[in-house]
Amino acid sequence: MKQKWQCAVDKAINLTKQERNKLERKFIVKYIDILKTSKEQLANFDMFLIHTKIPNQLLESFIRCKYIGIRAHNTDYVSSDLAHKQEIVIQGIPQVGENAVAEHTFSLIFAVTKQLFLSNQNIREGKWREGLGPNVELRGKNLGVIGYGKIGNVVALIGQSLGMNVLIASSRSSSKDGQLTIDEVLQQSDIVTLHASTKNNKETMINRKQFELMKNGAILINTARGSLLDYNDLEEALQSGKLMGAGLDVYPEEPNSKRKLYELPNVICTPHLAFYTNETISKMNQHLLDQAIDYFNNLDDIR
């Protein structure tokens, strides 16, 4: 009988009992806090399932590791160059959760346009409408969707159902199939929501130059990548009154370092949980486990 592979599961991945049983039929599994586990212990695992960014100095200790499964669509949780050097296979999961992220996008839009945070804060403090201006209606407003994959498509459909005029840009400079350029969308939109991917997860798409193109009093939403925005320039645009508000679910540093931006009254922040629903987590875990099991089944066939 072949010896079972040693598997480490990041504590950030909460598996159900059924999911644990599925994994434990194939592997000897330990559930660990990877960042607090000694390098000597990490050196004993054949595979890791993670949802935590792994520093290079820890990755270097994965001397026995053959496979890292990442519970995310992007794989920037580990250095691909270092993993390749160590002959470790890295695998993310297919993009899921488009409905969850689209719904969360509109939660942020409603929170900003209806001043929900300040309104709730006033009531909690025994106040009424102090400091509140009129709310904004969405019907008839221009909704700019930058990035027209699965998530952008669902966002556009929701916007249309609310009577919004949806403007779409999926590339930086070219118009196609009735779509606009990013600059054109920025110039014409009352609300801009980002759903673009980046080639290296470090490309900044929106900075001071782009903020200057936007309408006065526009709103910006980012549930895609923290790297898409220059957050210092966003803070400046909000404090100057160029933008009415912003809704953010992703950040340049996660977990967050403290920024004055996050304390502004016209900013709504959530801790990267747009995807975080029971339905989406179940789908993500299923892909994560199935891919890992398939990979090691193939290894078993040749060892």
Same domain membership, residue 191 and residue 154: yes
Number of residues assigned to the chain: 303
CATH code of the domain covering residue 182: 3.40.50.720
Structurally, how many domains does the chain consist of?
2
Question: What pLDDT digit, counting tens, does each position of 175-225 carry?
Answer: 566 789 999 999 999 999 999 986 555 668 999 999 999 999 999 999 999
The rounded mean pLDDT for the chain is 94
| Whole-number Cα distances in Å, 125 to 87, 120, 128, 240 | 57, 9, 9, 27
pTM for this predicted structure: 0.88
Same domain membership, residue 250 and residue 182: yes
Same domain membership, residue 243 and residue 287: no
Please name the helix (run of DSSP H) or strand (run of DSSP E) that holds residue 144, with its range, or none: strand 142-146
Same domain membership, residue 200 and residue 104: yes
For residue 176, the model assigns a pLDDT of 63
* Per-position DSSP letters for 193-232, written without gaps between them: EE----SSS----BSHHHHHHSPTTEEEEE-S-GGGB-HH
Same domain membership, residue 145 and residue 37: no
Same domain membership, residue 282 and residue 158: no
Give me 167's structure tokens.
């403007």
Percent with pLDDT over 90 in the chain: 88
Same domain membership, residue 184 and residue 80: no
Helix extents (H) in the chain:
17-24, 39-42, 56-59, 80-85, 98-113, 116-124, 150-161, 182-188, 208-213, 231-239, 278-302
For residue 253, the model assigns a pLDDT of 85
Same domain membership, residue 192 and residue 91: no
Same domain membership, residue 251 and residue 109: yes
Partners of 58 in the β-ladder: none
Alpha carbon distance 24, 189 (integer Å)? 51
- DSSP annotation of 255 reads S
For residue 173, the model assigns a pLDDT of 54
Q: Kindly give the confidence (pLDDT) of every residue in the chain, 303 residues in length, as a single tens digit, with 9 standing for 90 and above.
A: 568 999 999 999 999 999 999 999 999 999 999 999 999 999 999 999 999 999 999 999 999 999 999 999 889 899 999 999 999 999 999 999 999 999 999 999 999 999 999 999 999 999 999 999 999 999 999 999 999 999 999 999 999 999 999 999 986 555 566 789 999 999 999 999 999 986 555 668 999 999 999 999 999 999 999 999 999 999 999 999 999 999 999 999 887 778 999 999 999 999 999 999 999 999 999 999 999 999 999 998 776
Which residue segment(s) compose the domain that 48 sits in?
A: 5-96+278-302
Same domain membership, residue 196 and residue 134: yes
Same domain membership, residue 265 and residue 159: yes
Question: What pLDDT digit, counting tens, does each position of 237-257 carry?
Answer: 999 999 999 999 999 988 777
- DSSP annotation of 46 reads S
Same domain membership, residue 257 and residue 175: yes
Q: Which of 214, 163, 216, 162 is nearest to 193 (CA)?
A: 214
